[in-house]
Amino acid sequence: MDTKLTLSLDKIIIEQAKTYAKTNKVSLSKLIESYLASLTNKYKSDVEITPLVKSLSGVISLENDVDTKSDYTDFLIEKYK
- Residue 63 in any domain: the answer is no
Backbone angles phi, psi at 39, to 5 degrees: -65, -45
- Residue 48 in any domain: the answer is yes
Supply the range of the domain harboring residue 43.
8-57
- Residue 74 in any domain: the answer is no
- Residue 18 in any domain: the answer is yes
Residue 21, exposed/middle/buried by CB under 10 A (0-12, 13-18, 19+)? middle
DSSP 39: H
Per-residue pLDDT of 18-65, as tens digits, reads 999 999 999 999 999 988 888 887 666 566 778 888 888 877 777 777
Whether the full predicted model's pTM is greater than 0.75, yes or no, is no
- Residue 78 in any domain: the answer is no
* pLDDT at 6 (0 to 100): 93
* pLDDT at 4 (0 to 100): 92
Whose CA is closest to 3, among 40, 42, 36, 25?
Answer: 36
Domain count, the chain: 1
Cα end-to-end span (Å), the chain: 57
CB-based contacts of 68: which residues, under 8 Å, 6+ apart? Answer: 62
* pLDDT at 28 (0 to 100): 92
